[in-house]
Amino acid sequence: MSAGSVIARATVVIAVINLLSRVLGFIREAVIAQQFGATGVTDAFYVAYTIPYVLQAILGMALATVVVPIFSEYVSRGQRKEAWDLFGTVTNLTAIAFTVLTILGIFATPVLVKLLAPGLDAETAALAQELTRIMFPMLIFMGIATLFNGLLNANNIFGIPAFSIVAANIVVIISTLTLGDFIGVYGLAIGTVLGMVVAALIQLPSLLKSGFRYRFSFDWGNSDVRKVMSLMLPVALGVSVNQVYIIIDRMLASGMVEGSIAALNFSNRLILLPIGLFVMAVGTAFYPTLTRQAVDPSAGDMGATLRRTFRMVVMMSVPAAVGLIVLRYPIIQLLFERGEFDARATEMTAYALLFFSIGLVGQAANVILTRGFYALQDTRTPVKLTLVTIVINLVFSLILMGPLKHGGLALANSIAALTNTALLSWYLSKRVSNIWNMKMVRFTAQVLLASGIMAVVTYYVDGYAQALFAGYGTLGLAAQVGISVSAGAGVYLLAALLLRMEELFIFIDYGKRFLASRRR
């Protein structure tokens, strides 16, 4: 099977499971809101959750990102046993390091809560500290689950790792609905930890089937163990640097009118939906192929794989951005406008979403381009370029926040993301040949044309659907959004077919073979 077909197949599997995960994620948030509302209790929970989550996002993701290329290098040389020995040592080190961090974090909880949320009142801060101590152990299981996820992906196993998040969400929902009735928010905290335990354990059978055998050992003499540790630092810095965008937005938005921070958060959540659903699926699916091609040219053309994957991302992210711009009001009304989230909040969120959508393509492309550097075991270049774009983000934020208010912060974020795309593309093309060619220009023009046609049709269909379903409440809004999205997607796919976009036919071909295999 060709690299393109493998990536397309894995992308479909991951996208379907990610869709289920996203739906369950919204249900989880709805259940939390139903049980605890928008209160100090909920604030305390999210503060407590953020502390171990951020640590895992930085350290766990960095570790998994670094280990996969080295593991693939062993496998390409036919050294599977050595590959699994390395993985065993890294797993043991991860468990011990994260356990130490957990113990230190539990003792340092008052300081951590004060640093993260200095404005909490005494009662809420005390509750946040209690919940932090309960949830800190999930750092261990989140780190191990992330490591398991990366190694299963390296063995072309994508379904189980993606499903682990689904399982975690289910555990949280059930725990909140059951334990929450007896012990309140503590039940939610316990359920969150149990969800991470399940996310790690559910992947273990697939790891064992792939050849992993656990041994409590530390191969300190292995130079690649030291290599993992040395490469982790710049990747961890890169991941942590990305959090600076959020810090800048919150610091500057805090001086604006009430609701600016919330509007930026809600709109950014919508931007992350297509990235999490489609782009991360593509990025996860193509990364193992890319790491093999980086160490073994006979495994395929790395430049061609990057180009094909980049085109897939452009084909999906451009219409997603256009769709969010055209349908931003009804989508926000459908998802959020109830209870304390009023028409003013919808207006502010839609305003931010307009500017965030401009940079959606850049954010999506950066996922792919950054992994191209990681496959080459170059973790420093993306960090350096991200530091440059953080400065750009800060400068444009200060310039635009006056005339455009919180929308200026969103636009500055988009400008920084697109600048990062240009810089990553330029430097990666110096390392990998055959990435960009004139066909990319033609393909981009096709996507823009198809998306433009989609925008016009979606705009008029939405106007008609709004008039047709006016007065029907939430069901009417759901029908309006559903019809508009369906019409837009249908027109875009038809235009893509007529323009004969190659990437679309890869997915169609896989879909035909998948259905044929099911009939047998």
Over the stretch 82-128, which tens digit does the pLDDT of each residue have?
777 777 777 788 788 889 999 999 999 999 888 777 766 788 789 98
Residues 387 and 426 in one domain: yes
Residues 286 and 398 in one domain: yes
Asked, for residue 227, whether it belongs to a domain, the answer is no
Residues of the domain holding 175: 1-219
Residues 407 and 501 in one domain: no
Residues 129 and 276 in one domain: no
Residues 245 and 195 in one domain: no
CA distance 262 to 347: 12
Using CA atoms in the order 148, 160, 363, 447, what is the torsion angle rounded to 10 degrees?
A: 150
In this prediction, residue 302 carries a pLDDT of 73
pLDDT in tens, 41-70: 767 787 788 888 888 877 877 777 777 777
* Residue ending a domain, choose from 391, 415, 435: 435
Q: Which residues of the chain have pLDDT under 50?
A: 514, 518
Residues 44 and 106 in one domain: yes
Residues 113 and 148 in one domain: yes
Count Cβ atoms below 10 Å from residue 368 Cβ, excluding itself: 24
pLDDT in tens, 446-458: 889 999 999 999 9
Indicate the pTM of the whole model.
Answer: 0.68
Q: Which two tokens stand for residue 320?
A: 């997603």
Query: What SS3 class is residue 377?
Result: coil
Q: Are 454 and 322 in contact (CB under 8 A)?
A: yes
Asked, for residue 229, whether it belongs to a domain, the answer is no
Residues 429 and 444 in one domain: no
Residues 402 and 455 in one domain: no
Residues 238 and 204 in one domain: no
Q: Which two tokens stand for residue 342?
A: 């009023």
Asked, for residue 57, whether it belongs to a domain, the answer is yes
* Residue ending a domain, choose from 186, 219, 252: 219
Asked, for residue 225, whether it belongs to a domain, the answer is no
How many domains in the chain? 3
